[in-house]
């Protein structure tokens, strides 16, 4: 970008002021310079990337995933050794040790606990708040969002089906229209398919407090993802990030968006074979369902850590086509902020004046 030209005509500065005003609620809630949360991606959102996001003015979030309390305590300590800025911890609501994980966060003085993957137990929310942490919850619908706020959620994230990993059935564009105007009680962060600052600015104008980015950060220089995993992202296009296929509604498959590879095709073939065994009487329904569910066991780690992008799970959002190079986290955030500021200030990022600008 020819930033000096924008600065000279004042439009970038004007746009930055508008951006700061629009994101003030989100920035105050997170305690950050920018209302940009890092999506909690298992194996990817660990101390190095989380700290880099926070050090760049965003809000890093550790993906607890299946960690034990001891492992989470070490990860939090490791992150605190790399940044003095605020960050949060994402805890899966179905984790069998959720209460202990919450206590680990409180003992380490983590300021924000993000509950994901389902409706968090009321006692977990209450414990987090009683310990001084702010609670963030995910909601796929307005009615559930209202219920979570009544239960004590301090902020919400609405994530559209454009996102990578486990997804719901509704796009962010629809969720934002349904929820943002009708739930002003708490800050709401939006996620799913956001790859440029102009889109971030648009959702802020709609009333969002901020955004959550996952896919854009996978190819950050600080990300420990395997070079082959990053290369798959750099090659990928939006159409390559597809939800997992379900062959038979009698054997439900949790939808997960990932880049299509050999494993994707084999998963469909395996479902056909397992269902045929069930119909022949070789397997009962429970055994058949378990065989289908176990197909992806360990697949994400194989892809992210080992670099097996053919038989592993390469979870990616539809914004993957906007990931064009490996770059420092601070550069990614600065790029998003500049794009948003230019848009709000009346300029496109290609330096042409916006025709709709006043």
28 pLDDT above the threshold of 60: yes
**Mean pLDDT for the stretch of residues 315-323:** 98
Q: Assign 3-class secondary structure to 91-141.
A: EECCCCCHHHHHHHHHHCCCCEEEEECCCCCHHHHHHHHHCCCEEEEECCC
**Mean pLDDT for the stretch of residues 300-312:** 97
Q: Which CATH architecture has domain 3-213+328-345?
A: Alpha-Beta Barrel (3.20)
**Mean pLDDT for the stretch of residues 210-239:** 98
65 pLDDT above the threshold of 80: yes
260 pLDDT above the threshold of 90: yes
Mean pLDDT of the chain: 94
356 pLDDT above the threshold of 70: no
Sheet containing 165-166: order of strands: 165-166, 256-259, 241-243
The confidence score (pLDDT) of residue 346 equals 83
238 pLDDT above the threshold of 80: yes
At 9, the pLDDT band (50, 70, 90 cuts) reads: low
**Mean pLDDT for the stretch of residues 223-239:** 98
- pLDDT digits 0-9 by tens, 98-114: 999 999 999 999 999 99
178 pLDDT above the threshold of 70: yes
The confidence score (pLDDT) of residue 186 equals 98
- Between these two residues, 308 and 348, which has the higher pLDDT value? 308
**Domain ranges in the chain?**
3-213+328-345, 227-318
351 pLDDT above the threshold of 70: no
Which region holds residue 152: left if phi is over 0, alpha if psi is between -120 and 50, else beta? Answer: left
The confidence score (pLDDT) of residue 348 equals 55
Q: What percent of the chain has pLDDT over 90?
A: 92
Cα 80–Cα 123–Cα 214 angle in degrees, nearest 5 = 45
Least Cα distance to 64 among 126, 136, 115, 139 occurs for 115
3 pLDDT above the threshold of 90: no
The confidence score (pLDDT) of residue 354 equals 38
The confidence score (pLDDT) of residue 277 equals 96
Q: What percent of the chain has pLDDT over 70?
A: 94
Q: Six-digit token pair at 274?
A: 């397992």
The confidence score (pLDDT) of residue 2 equals 47
357 pLDDT above the threshold of 90: no
Asked if residue 247 lies in contact with residue 254, where contact means CB atoms within 8 angstroms, the answer is no
- pLDDT digits 0-9 by tens, 117-160: 999 999 999 999 999 999 999 999 999 999 999 999 999 999 99
Which region holds residue 256: left if phi is over 0, alpha if psi is between -120 and 50, else beta? Answer: beta
């Amino acid at each position: 970008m020819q930033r000096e030209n924008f600065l000279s005509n004042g439009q970038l500065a004007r746009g930055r002021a508008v951006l700061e005003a629009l994101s003030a609620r989100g920035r105050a809630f997170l305690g950050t310079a920018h209302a940009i949360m890092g999506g909690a991606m298992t194996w990817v959102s660990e101390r190095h990337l989380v700290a880099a996001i926070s050090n760049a003015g965003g809000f890093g979030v550790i993906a607890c995933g299946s960690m034990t309390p001891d492992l989470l305590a070490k990860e939090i300590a490791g992150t605190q050794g790399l940044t003095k800025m605020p960050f949060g911890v994402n805890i899966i609501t179905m984790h069998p040790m959720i209460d202990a994980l919450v206590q680990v966060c409180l003992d380490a003085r983590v300021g924000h606990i993000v509950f994901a993957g389902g409706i968090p137990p009321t006692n977990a929310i209450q414990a987090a708040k009683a310990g001084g942490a702010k609670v963030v919850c995910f909601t796929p619908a307005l009615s559930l969002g209202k219920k979570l706020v009544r239960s004590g959620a301090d902020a919400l994230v609405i994530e559209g089906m454009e996102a990578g990993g486990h997804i719901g059935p509704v796009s962010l564009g629809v969720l934002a229209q349904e929820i943002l105007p009708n739930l002003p009680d708490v800050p709401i962060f939006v996620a799913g398919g956001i790859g440029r600052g102009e889109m971030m600015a648009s959702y802020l104008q709609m009333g969002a407090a901020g955004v959550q980015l996952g896919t854009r950060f996978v190819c950050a220089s600080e990300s420990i993802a395997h070079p082959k995993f990053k290369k798959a992202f750099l090659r990928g296009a939006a159409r390559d990030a597809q939800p997992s296929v379900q062959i038979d509604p009698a054997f439900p498959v949790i939808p997960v968006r990932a880049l299509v590879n050999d494993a994707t095709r084999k998963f469909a073939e395996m479902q056909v074979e397992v269902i045929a065994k069930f119909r022949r009487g070789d397997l009962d329904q429970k055994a058949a369902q378990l065989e289908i569910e176990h197909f992806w066991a360990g697949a994400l780690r194989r892809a992210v850590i080992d670099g097996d992008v053919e038989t592993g799970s390469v979870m990616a959002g539809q914004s993957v086509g906007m990931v064009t190079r490996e770059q420092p986290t601070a550069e990614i955030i600065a790029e998003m902020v500049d794009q948003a500021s230019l848009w709000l200030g009346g300029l496109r990022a290609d330096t042409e004046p916006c025709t709709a600008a006043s």
